[in-house]
Amino acid sequence: MKLPESQVAVLDAASATEERTIADLAGKTGLKPETATGAVFELEDAGLLSVDERTEESVSLTEEGEEYAEDGLPEVALYEAAIEAGAVDDPVQMGQAIGASGLGGPKVNIALSNYARKGYGTIDSGEITANQDADPDEDAESNALSALTAGEPVDDPDVLDQLESRGLVARAESTVRSVTLTDDGVTAMMEGIEAAETVGQLTPEMLTTGEWRDVEFAEYNVDADAERIDGGKVHILRQTANRVKDVLVGMGFEEMDGPHADADFWINDCLFMPQDHPARTHWDRFALSNPTEIGDLPEDLVERVHSAHRDGVGEHGEGYHSPWDEDFARAIALRGHTTSLSMRYLSGYAQGELEPPQRFFSVEKVYRNDTLDPTHLLEFFQIEGWVMAEDLSVRDLMGTFEEFYAQFGITDIQFKPHYNPYTEPSFELFGNHPETGELIEIGNSGMFRPEVLEPLGVECDVMAWGLALERLLMLMYGFEDIRDVHGTLCDLELLRDVEVIH
């Protein structure tokens, strides 16, 4: 049998009776690990080797861990200083013990926070005691650091957990492949295997000398496992935002754009939200302190909005008849919804008067002073949209959502009647969570009231909505906690492994 040189070397180095790791084989043969791996897979395919995979945990010291392995743990230094200062008999002033320990900077806090936990003594009202029976030589964490430095294993998972939570060790998992010769492998070896001259790379010399005509080229094994490389990629939230934009553009919508920090006028007043509405208090709102108010508002619109709030709208002047203050409307806050953009566009302020029919959308961030929990963050992306046309009905609104969500494979949305100060009728949208089966709220919508449209100067119907991009993502990918995709607690595996969809 003729085989490429690297495979012959691997076969020679492998044993029928003893498992050898690929790293061992690479060491024995002098092959590069990736060449040895490639050869092993080829030989496995040919039935000459069998490969056994297991996952192995490796533990390594962090820089801080290495420092303590060398100089000792801060709490041990503190204990020794406390003993020295006589804290076994009587409590000693903490400052004195810390001074004598030579600890400084963050190490003082590190020593204090581990001292009592590990039974070195007590710390109370600025005084420290030392426990005579404690023995730094028996300190499991310190011994584990020494063992790791010496390349010895540490078996106690609790100690490892503790060291990991202190940031002194890092744990990683890797796949270790062990190889043994199969019966066929042994037979082939006994019958004799010759190394075929194979060439892994074509060189300019081979081309000029014509040598390439005579050599045998190594084959690529496209099935072989390759080293995993986590390259950068677009975050799934961005990916989905881009998809949402494509879908809406495909449905004939144009994109709106506008300020994240905006006047309450656009965020609330245009929406016929009374100025004493509970949602307008500071609990929900992130106010801006610099600048505090907007300079430029369209005067005639301000007057019409003012009149809607104070005198009502329509023949009978129905409405809240609530007091209205222009300064209050000028105050700037981070927008709690992107309906502020809809107001800027519908009023003609953003890009001039619009003639029906019109369709607009945005996929932008909004900010709310919520309590963080699995479904709420202080900011999220809202998919805002509206359609302006003659004679729109609730069926148009529902049909639009059905068409939109179907493009993401979601075909079971449900509607629930709802209340918004600015739409009538209003509907909340719900979808089924693919993992928990629970109904989750995915958006809010409705037909703008005359009290909103009349001051804006819009004379036909407008249906509108705000959908949460993160909730759409939950339905698409099945994660249960919004913090899995955002922020410091995010699930990196999920973000890395999720399929890239365009």
**Site residues (vs ligand PHE, CB under 6 A):** 337, 339, 420, 423, 444-446, 464-466
User: Cα-atom radius of gyration of the chain, to the nearest Å?
Assistant: 35
Q: How far apart are CA 202 and CA 213, in angstroms?
A: 11
Q: Which residue is nearest to ligand PHE (CB)?
A: 466
Least separation in angstroms between residue 168's CB and ligand PHE is: 46
CA dihedral 361, 264, 326, 454 (to 10 degrees): 30
Burial class (CB in 10 A: 0-12, 13-18, 19+), 268: buried
Q: Which is closer to ligand PHE, CB of 41 or CB of 381?
A: 381
Task: Identify the DSSP state of 318.
Answer: B
Q: Which is closer to ligand PHE, CB of 41 or CB of 427?
A: 427
Do residues 5 and 40 make contact, with C-beta atoms less than 8 angstroms apart?
no
Q: Which is closer to ligand PHE, CB of 35 or CB of 445?
A: 445
Least separation in angstroms between residue 310's CB and ligand PHE is: 23
Task: Identify the DSSP state of 373.
Answer: B
Cα within 13 Å of Cα(233), Cβ side:
17
Q: Which is closer to ligand PHE, CB of 142 or CB of 358?
A: 358
Least separation in angstroms between residue 358's CB and ligand PHE is: 15
Q: How far apart are CA 407 and CA 248, in angstroms?
A: 10
Burial class (CB in 10 A: 0-12, 13-18, 19+), 185: buried
Tokens representing residue 239 in the block: 């990916």
Least separation in angstroms between residue 228's CB and ligand PHE is: 41
Q: Which is closer to ligand PHE, CB of 129 or CB of 339?
A: 339
Q: Which is closer to ligand PHE, CB of 162 or CB of 420?
A: 420
Q: How far apart are CA 364 and CA 347, in angstroms?
A: 20
DSSP string, 363-387: EEEEE--PPPBTTB-SEEEEEEEEE
Amino acid identity for residue 407 in this structure: Q
Q: Which is closer to ligand PHE, CB of 22 or CB of 334?
A: 334
Tell me the backbone φ, ψ of residue 326, rounded to 5 degrees. -65, -35
Least separation in angstroms between residue 268's CB and ligand PHE is: 10
Q: Which is closer to ligand PHE, CB of 115 or CB of 430?
A: 430
Residues 6+ apart with CB under 8 A from 278: none
Q: How far apart are CA 362 and CA 346, in angstroms?
A: 14
Least separation in angstroms between residue 465's CB and ligand PHE is: 5
Least separation in angstroms between residue 454's CB and ligand PHE is: 16
Least separation in angstroms between residue 444's CB and ligand PHE is: 4
